[in-house]
Amino acid sequence: MRVNEFLLLDGARLPTVDPMLLRATSYGHFTSMQVRDGQVDGLDLHFERLDRSTREIFDRPLPAGRVRDDLRAALDAAGAGDLSIRVNVFAVDDVHLLTRVGPPVEPATQPVRLRTYQHQRAVPHLKHTGSFDLTYYARKARTEGYDDALFHDPAGHVSEASIWNICFARGPHLTFPAAPLLAGIRQQTLQRVLPTYATEPIPLDDLATYDAAYLTNSVDPALPVASIDDVTFEPHPTSADVITKAYATQPSQVI
């Protein structure tokens, strides 16, 4: 007798969940966005990321129009314009989009304390579904009394945090790490509107020479860093103002 795929949760069968969806979490890629009034910061960059990654992972394009149609369907189904949306891309014969919709998430308000670890994600330029290591190190940092993890390469150069990019400030000038990392949508949005910025190696030994550090992701556009290991940072209005003014020149895009 041929047995079809099915799922059990704590021993009970789940008749309404398609086992095919497990592939969306095992081999694929994704992007996450915050939607406000039906608009998204850097929406064109999300489209570009999804298409580029689908071409690399599955050898097929992912047209922006198809993604936009699914995003509009998510808005219609939610009946609201303020949402959190994650689009997973996976393939079973053909490319599929699994869209997860939830309530909006507000930016954090408290500066964070980071613990450094030598680590590099596999294929770091892709926002892929292999996130075990990110959760592992974030949890490890919290058990050691910090808020989250910050990674560096074997040469001691900073790369990225668990779910954030990071940048550093000297006066009004921002510097982004040159180590292998995922170029986040917020980071790209910020970089394309800053009047000037640098991308260069950032050694751990040089952290104390910076005035401030900021984390960026889809939720937190510029979350101040309170400390990295034993290096502390005070509030820095000069660089915070540069970032605020830069973002203000980049309007959100309608889905």
pLDDT of residue 4: 77
Helix/strand/coil (H, E, C) string of 94-159?
Answer: EEEEEEEEECCCCCCCCCEEEEEEECCCCCCCCCECCCHHHHHHHHHHHHCCCCEEEEECCCCEEE
Mean model confidence pLDDT for the chain:
95
pLDDT score of 5 more than 90: no
Location of structure tokens 């303020």:
82
Say how many C-beta atoms besides its own lie within 10 A of residue 215's C-beta.
28
Rounded to an integer, the average pLDDT of 91-103 is 93
Distance between CA atoms of residues 76 and 90, nearest Å: 23
pLDDT by residue (tens digit) across 172-203? 999 999 999 999 999 999 999 998 999 999 99
pLDDT by residue (tens digit) across 40-58? 999 999 999 999 999 999 9
Q: Which residue has the higher pLDDT, 61 or 3?
A: 61
Rounded to an integer, the average pLDDT of 6-20 is 82
Distance between CA atoms of residues 179 and 190, nearest Å: 18
pLDDT by residue (tens digit) across 55-83? 999 999 999 999 999 999 999 999 999 99
pLDDT of residue 18: 84
pLDDT of residue 8: 78
Distance between CA atoms of residues 20 and 27, nearest Å: 12
pLDDT score of 132 more than 90: yes
pTM metric for this prediction: 0.94
| Terminal alpha carbon distance of the chain | 48
Element (H, E) at 72: helix 64-78
